[in-house]
Structure 1
């Protein structure tokens, strides 16, 4: 599971560099994200623009990261592909997560909030 990250003013942008988050890589994704959120700033934006497929294990891993983050942190999602967005919508997880159209908009909202 390849994840890249870059810190901006008050936020960490984590980009998933894989086309799937599924049962094969869900545990590794969760472990890598925990490392990045444990040492990260209070806002974490997960750029999922390259993720074309998300199964229930992948969704569970994203939710587990949300539950494991520090109480003062937020986990926001960006750039969901249509199939991935549909999973969040059908499970009503789109009401739990802040979802941005793209990573640039998410980071700009961070900058404007400062």
Structure 2
């Protein structure tokens, strides 16, 4: 599971560098984001631009991250592809999350972990 982090004024931006956020990586994704949330805050801006497919496990992992954030912290999304955006709209999660469009110029600070 690969992602990049970039410190922003009020937290961290996390760019997921995977084409799929599904059952195969959902648990690792959730664990890794939990670690990021513990180190940074109060805002996590989750950049899903490279993600072309998300299933219910991926959506559940995103929701789990939102639920475990400390009070006063928030999880926002950006860069949803049409397929991923459809998942959020069909499940009405687009009313739960703040969703931003694409933002160019993401600096690459790798926070990778080799898949085992």
How high is the TM-score relative to the length of structure 2? 0.87
Q: CA deviation at 1:4?
A: 1.0
Alignment of 1:25-64 (within 5 A): 25-64=25-64
Please state whether the residue corresponding to 2:46 is helix, strand or coil.
Answer: strand
- Are the counterparts in 2 of residues 5 and 15 from structure 1 also a CA contact under 8 Å? yes
Distance 1:50 1:99 in 2: 16
User: 1:23-51 deviations in whole A, cap 9, x for unaligned?
Assistant: 00000000000000111121110000000
Distance 1:57 1:103 in 2: 26
Distance 1:5 1:58 in 2: 19
Alignment of 1:30-109 (within 5 A): 30-103=30-103
Q: CA deviation at 1:103?
A: 3.6
How high is the TM-score relative to the length of structure 1? 0.88
Q: Any runs of at least 4 consecutive aligned residues in structure 1 with deviations exceeding 2 A, and if so which?
A: none
Q: Which position in structure 1 is the counterpart of 2:107?
A: none
> RCO greater where, 1 or 2, for CA within 8 Å and sep 6 or more?
2
Distance 1:91 1:103 in 2: 25
Gapped runs of 5+ residues in structure 1? Answer: 105-114
Higher helix share: 1
Gapped runs of 5+ residues in structure 2? Answer: 105-116
